[in-house]
Structure 1
Amino acid sequence: MTLFPLRTVSLPTGVPALGLLPGLALTALAVAVSQWVGRALPGVSAAVVAVVLGVALGSLTRLPAVLGAGLRFASRRLLRLAIVVLGLQVALPEVLALGWRPLALIAVSTGCAFVLTRWIGPRIGVSPRRSLLIATGVSVCGAAAIAAMHEVADSDDDDVAGAVGVVVLYGSAALVVLPVLARLAGLSPYQLGLWAGASVHEVAQVAAVGAAAGAGVLACAVVVKLARVALLAPMVAFTSLTLRRSGGRRPPLVPLFVLGFLAAVAVRSLGVVPDTVVEIVPQVTSLSLAAALFALGTGVDLRALARGGRSLALGGLATAVIGAISLIGVLAIG
């Protein structure tokens, strides 16, 4: 689905930025609300709240055409900015310090969840496009990964909202279920942090699990999660290459925003980013991603989204796969 497909917005000649202001103003208001809700509800990311607001607003009212240009800008340009800035959170020396066994666990659990989810989806009635987005969100990093894959896949806004809804539901359930299962399995704090980072969907949800268990668990869980985030670029690039070879859509071989993400990872890993910048990167990522997902949400058909029972089933299976494989790995590592 394309935002406002039947409407056009004429920008003032010579002053195109003015045409963006109404849509961007609405987006800024939605982001402010989503940030407040995210702070009030630990474990709930502002990006998730923003897409819910966008879906609700787009479904309950017919948005004026004057908002279209700004919303399109937010859903495309700000989305790519969010993915690039996300790379500044990944420092490869910290990731490599985990050791080869945790890194092997992350690679295996992420890869298996991605491949199996894409294979299972069409076989239970979920479209290949939505299966791809759910596979990416569950295996890598939730809403951010879904948004990045949306840029190269032949998916629409309904697919994005459906996939985000699935990873939010099961990722939120993990906040309660994971610590309980960890106690039953007799996991140490280190093992809990490793399991949370390797299996929980959203960065904010991983941080919530870790924070509840202690500072040591939090540090381990977040670094493991960022190792999964580092897999976003090769996964998107591989999918783009696969789509080109299939003879269908021909997205760029390596999208520019993926190159930007890799460049940001390299800059952060070289240690040349000032600490003050590193500290505000998560907030910048959260703001830009929330803006992009709100704009995408406004173009969603809620009636189509409500018929998403199979998507929920696929999300549950994918969550079970990555949770089970990563738990086996955690127990093997000891």
Structure 2
Amino acid sequence: MFDKGNRGNTMHGILLIALFSFAAFYLSEIPFVRSLSFSPLIVGILLGMLYANSLRNRLPETWVPGIKFCTKQVLRAGIVLYGFRLTLTEVAAVGVPAVVIDFIIVAGTIFLGVWLGKLLKMDGDTALMTATGSSICGAAAVLGAEPVVKCEGHKTAIAVSTVVIFGTLSMFLYPIMYRAGLLGGLSDMEVAVYTGSTLHEVAHVAGAGNAMDPTDELGIAGTATITKMIRVMMLAPVLVIMSFAIARRKRGVQEAVSGKRGIAIPWFAFGFIGVICLNSLLQYVFGVESVKDIPLNGAIEYIDTFMLTMAMTALGTDTSIDKFRQAGAKPFVLAGFLYIWLVGGGYLLVKYLTPFCQ
């Protein structure tokens, strides 16, 4: 890829994606886009898809390795750096109820998604990616699962699209339910855990939490975000388990072809865990209360967001309307069923399970 003869063309592909990513950062700061809580990652994949359905055929084929580099190496590095947003202290801050409910939501959503995908006779990879996005942390989880599942780029984009649709809907629905008294059966802390454990993106949780509790006087906004970040921490073990499960499923095919058994261990997931532990140590060493107060944390988070935006944009450039048509409506039907489980099942879990965990 970076051989002397191909280095220039590879760099052209990377620079193309970088330019789109800069544009995504700029567009995400427009007030209307910010009001929708569309992160640069979401804007980036939309720009990539726009390019894929307009000027993609004019892209020199020699630039493609640079784009592939963004969807693989840049993506893995971005997932590792994502760990700088988290610390182990945050887990202790919300206690056992949030951890238990997050675990049930993550595991239940993935298993339910895979089972419903089989009932709908969906492509297995698309069902798994959709379920992963709904269960953990939206687009970032889909990106993390992509190197493990090793599916086509358009399947990743479809899974991200379901996150955008239902996550954005939740961001407006939850504050409406809260103000209408539909969450009256929950305490303020339980509302926060419910919000953090069932909404898709971190941005969606922050948006809904701030709408319900603008000053965080009730503790809803802050606790909801921490609960959400605990779900994010579960990304690493999920990816490791997923890699073994996929290897077991495909083992027969691999043995038939090569006579060898292979398990694709997602080493970047262990890097993700290592960075969380390092960040926790740094928080202790510098004696700061918030992860935001750790020196250079803001700069690292900005760089990481840019890298993930590059990966999203690169995936978007391989996603045409024709591929969406081939996938049909089933991924969105699956995401709709998972959404009902998150909204309804999540409420019941928080209401009846929280008292037993305290």
Establish whether residue 290 from structure 1 lines up as the match of residue 297 from structure 2.
no
Which residue is 1:221 aligned to? 224
- Counterpart pick for 2:42 among 18, 26, 48: 48
Q: Distance in 2 between matches of 1:135 and 1:268?
A: 29
Which residue is 2:258 aligned to? none
Q: For the aligned residues, what is the CA RMSD?
A: 2.0
- The alpha-carbon deviation at position 267 of structure 1 amounts to 0.7
Q: Choose 1 or 2 for highest CA Rg.
A: 2
Which residue is 1:161 aligned to? 157
- How many correspondences in the alignment? 324
Q: Residue type matched to 2:9 in 1?
A: G
Q: Distance in 2 between matches of 1:80 and 1:52?
A: 21
Q: Distance in 2 between matches of 1:145 and 1:59?
A: 25
Structure 2 contact 210–221 (Cα < 8 Å) conserved: yes
Deviations 1:302-329 (A, max 9, x none): 2121343111110111121122222113
Q: TM-score, normalised by structure 1?
A: 0.90
Which residue is 2:29 aligned to? 39
Establish whether residue 208 from structure 1 lines up as the match of residue 207 from structure 2.
yes
Q: Which has the higher mean CA deviation after the structures are superposed, 117-126 or 242-251?
A: 242-251
- Counterpart pick for 2:171 among 169, 175, 184: 175
- The alpha-carbon deviation at position 146 of structure 1 amounts to 0.7
**1:40-189 to 2 correspondence within 5 Å?**
40=30, 41-42=33-34, 43-61=37-55, 62=57, 63-183=59-179, 184-186=182-184, 187-189=186-188
Distance 1:258 1:251, change over 3 A: farther
Q: TM-score, normalised by structure 2?
A: 0.85
Establish whether residue 324 from structure 1 lines up as the match of residue 316 from structure 2.
no
Establish whether residue 233 from structure 1 lines up as the match of residue 244 from structure 2.
no
Q: Distance in 1 between matches of 2:54 and 2:96?
A: 50
Q: Distance in 2 between matches of 1:320 and 1:38?
A: 29
Structure 2 contact 196–227 (Cα < 8 Å) conserved: yes
Deviations 1:153-204 (A, max 9, x none): 1411111011000111000101111111233222444333222210111111
- The alpha-carbon deviation at position 251 of structure 1 amounts to 6.1
- The alpha-carbon deviation at position 253 of structure 1 amounts to 4.7
Q: Distance in 2 between matches of 1:81 and 1:258?
A: 10
Q: Distance in 1 between matches of 2:77 and 2:191?
A: 32
Which residue is 1:257 aligned to? 268
Which residue is 1:30 aligned to? 20
- Counterpart pick for 1:279 among 280, 298, 301: 298
Q: Distance in 2 between matches of 1:219 and 1:209?
A: 11
Q: Which has the higher mean CA deviation after the structures are superposed, 158-167 or 316-325?
A: 316-325
- The alpha-carbon deviation at position 295 of structure 1 amounts to 0.6
Which residue is 2:289 aligned to? none
Which residue is 1:4 aligned to? none
Q: Which has the higher mean CA deviation after the structures are superposed, 225-234 or 62-71?
A: 62-71
Q: Distance in 2 between matches of 1:154 and 1:261?
A: 19
Secondary structure in 2 aligned to 1:271?
helix
- The alpha-carbon deviation at position 121 of structure 1 amounts to 1.0
Q: Which has the higher mean CA deviation after the structures are superposed, 294-303 or 248-257?
A: 248-257
Q: Residue type matched to 2:19 in 1?
A: L
Percent identical pairs in the alignment equals 26
Structure 1 contact 142–202 (Cα < 8 Å) conserved: yes
Establish whether residue 267 from structure 1 lines up as the match of residue 278 from structure 2.
yes
Deviations 1:81-101 (A, max 9, x none): 111011121211211221112
Which residue is 1:301 aligned to? 320
Q: Residue type matched to 2:123 in 1?
A: S
- The alpha-carbon deviation at position 226 of structure 1 amounts to 0.7
Q: Which has the higher mean CA deviation after the structures are superposed, 168-177 or 281-290?
A: 281-290
Secondary structure in 2 aligned to 1:22?
helix
Which residue is 1:3 aligned to? none
Q: Distance in 2 between matches of 1:167 and 1:154?
A: 19
Q: Distance in 2 between matches of 1:128 and 1:75?
A: 21
> Unaligned 5+ residue runs, structure 1?
1-8
